[in-house]
Amino acid sequence: MSSFSDYLKNREQSFSNLTQSVKETTENRSNQDDRIWKPKMGADGTGYAVVRFLPGKDFTKTPWVRMYSHGFQGPTGKWFIENSLTTLGQKDPVSEFNSRLWNNGTEAGKEQARKQKRRTSYYANVLVLKDPINPANEGKVMIYQFGQKIFEKLTESMQPQYGEEPVNPFDPIDGANFRIKIKTVAGYWNYDSSDFAPAAALTEDEAKLEVVFNAQHDIHDLVAPHNFKTYEELQAKLDETMGVQNDPVQTQVKEAESFAEQLDDEIPEFSSKPAPTTVADDDEAELADFFKGLQS
């Protein structure tokens, strides 16, 4: 145990260490990560970029990771933007909240659950080959954050439906460049036109391939338990966002039903983007199956 005299001698260094610890803690909790890349939309309302998906350094692990999250604004005006513990196969307070809303027997409950539903993101290493909006990214190995549509493009290349030759999109030798094409449809970014170029080696220079390979990031650390808030922390954040002290579910269900009656069954918008009043059949089925699973 250090003495007081030791403290006096080392207090400046102690403060320096403390400052560094605060910085590291803040950075670990921050949603900002300079390694993460996403294409941007141009002034003309379209976007374009070319990337090459990479295999990851550990071939025993998948070259991508999947992250579940929630992002919505509560009646307090505060936002809840957090990763979901269901990513780790654990119970999550928002998923449980939404499950009870969905199963409370009212359309108001279901509508609110839709607006607060779980979102899916994927992360993978890519070499950015073309980024017209930010050319400084070209030639860099980044972590690409993308959604379900791009993931479907990846799986289709590996498991083609019409007799084409399967392609491993993560192979720098036998894979293919991926052309990201973005347009706006009904106010949302649409990636349907994105596709793979013909299969070809990234380069014939093995030394350059090795440089790219070694520059890859550990994407699996993104979904490591230490990067998630605890159940209790998420519950406290949910209560704060919803403006309730005890049971947020019963309070919010009653408020949602009250709003629906006052506004001729129009539930107030808790999102920064206009949300459709209905969801696609597959989304509806996915929500129903997910909430049933939480009850079992």
User: Is residue 89 predicted with pLDDT exceeding 80?
Assistant: yes
**Domain assignment present for 87:** yes
**Domain assignment present for 121:** yes
The arithmetic mean of pLDDT across residues 128-149, rounded, is 97
The arithmetic mean of pLDDT across residues 243-271, rounded, is 51
User: How far is the C-alpha of 226 from the C-alpha of 61, rounded, in Å?
Assistant: 19
User: How far is the C-alpha of 163 from the C-alpha of 169, rounded, in Å?
Assistant: 17
One-letter amino acid at 146 equals F
CATH classification at residue 289: 3.90.198.10
C-alpha to C-alpha distances, 154 to 33, 63, 84, 167, 273, nearest whole angstrom: 24, 11, 24, 9, 28
The arithmetic mean of pLDDT across residues 206-212, rounded, is 97
**Domain assignment present for 24:** no
**Domain assignment present for 98:** yes
Per-residue pLDDT, 260: 44
**Domain assignment present for 131:** yes
51-83, pLDDT tens digit by residue? 999 999 998 999 999 999 999 999 999 999 999
Using 50, 70 and 90 to split pLDDT, how confident is the model at 104? Answer: very high
The total of structural domains in the chain comes to 1
269-289, pLDDT tens digit by residue? 433 333 333 334 445 555 556
User: Is residue 237 predicted with pLDDT exceeding 50?
Assistant: yes
**Domain assignment present for 31:** no
Domain region containing 134: 37-295
Per-residue pLDDT, 269: 42
Longest dimension (CA), the chain: 78
Using 50, 70 and 90 to split pLDDT, how confident is the model at 8? Answer: low
User: How far is the C-alpha of 53 from the C-alpha of 127, rounded, in Å?
Assistant: 7
- Supply the mean pLDDT for the chain: 83
**Domain assignment present for 13:** no
Per-residue pLDDT, 25: 45
177-190, pLDDT tens digit by residue? 999 999 999 989 99
The arithmetic mean of pLDDT across residues 145-160, rounded, is 96
Most confident range (mean pLDDT) of 14-18, 95-99, 247-251 is 95-99
Residue among 125, 190, 129, 199 at smallest CA distance from 160: 199
**Domain assignment present for 178:** yes
